[in-house]
Amino acid sequence: MSAELVPGNLGDSFSKYFEIVPALDEAVRHEAFFVRHEVYCKDLHFEDERANREETDDYDEHSLHCVLRTRGDNARPVGCTRMILAKPDDPGAPLPFEKYCATTLDRSVIDPAALPRSAIAEVSRLAVVSDFRRRKDEQDKPVSISDDDFRAGGATPRFPFIPVSLYLACVVISLREGIEHLFVLTEPRLAMHFSRIGFDIRQIGGPVEHRGKRVPSYLRPAVIRRDLKPMMRPLYEVVEASIARAYAAAGR
């Protein structure tokens, strides 16, 4: 199935097809791990397949997770991401990007090591199942975004609801959890794509090889919320409301 939807009211369009939820219990966490296994193990073979059909690692125990599901009779999880927090028992331990980019980070722009460790997180394991990664020539990536996704009047009008909604979920959850600084290893052109919809994503170092060419980038959740373009606000509000309902149901 393709998720090629024409922009209009992005919140209404998103709500018709999808819902996004934070993983506040084990059942939703297992959904995230299942999506990751489908993408990282079965499709892309970045990791070995596992008998329990869940892809996990040591960072999951100190991460915040969220899941994107389809709506309807055959609802299922189709996307996920996580935010890795500092280790509770060892806050100074480096996040993954701090290890991979130790020699390429431009610490004159921002130095993660100088920030309060309780206020930083790394966006990681953003993944979308294969039948929702739109183009057949981009099935070798855990998620795909192209110039056409953000180009008005392109040959195939569409909007990348899945990756954008997952990033918005990270923003919303960060604001709830007191995370002021987000870091992510991205494809080099991601910042350019996302800047078109009001995301301030800044490259903070040179490229590294990590399952393809990646650059370390920096996001400030409060600034993203403040500066989103008007067309994006209905989608943000839908994501925010969904996450708020889940927190309320969990008594948090």
- At 218-247, the pLDDT tens digits run 999 999 999 998 988 999 999 999 999 999
Instruction: Assess contact for 169 and 243: CB atoms under 8 A.
Output: yes
C-alpha–C-alpha distance, residues 2 and 64, integer Å: 27
Query: What pLDDT, on the 0 to 100 scale, is given for residue 210?
Result: 80
Query: What pLDDT, on the 0 to 100 scale, is given for residue 134?
Result: 57
Q: pLDDT digit string (tens) for 30-63?
A: 999 999 999 999 999 999 999 999 999 999 999 9
The answer to whether residue 16 scores a pLDDT higher than 80 is: yes
C-alpha–C-alpha distance, residues 97 and 196, integer Å: 25
Q: pLDDT digit string (tens) for 160-174?
A: 888 899 999 999 999
C-alpha–C-alpha distance, residues 35 and 54, integer Å: 8
What letter would DSSP give residue 39? I
pTM: predicted TM-score of the whole model, two decimal places: 0.88
Q: 201: which strand partners? A: 219
In a 3-state reduction of DSSP, which class is residue 11? helix
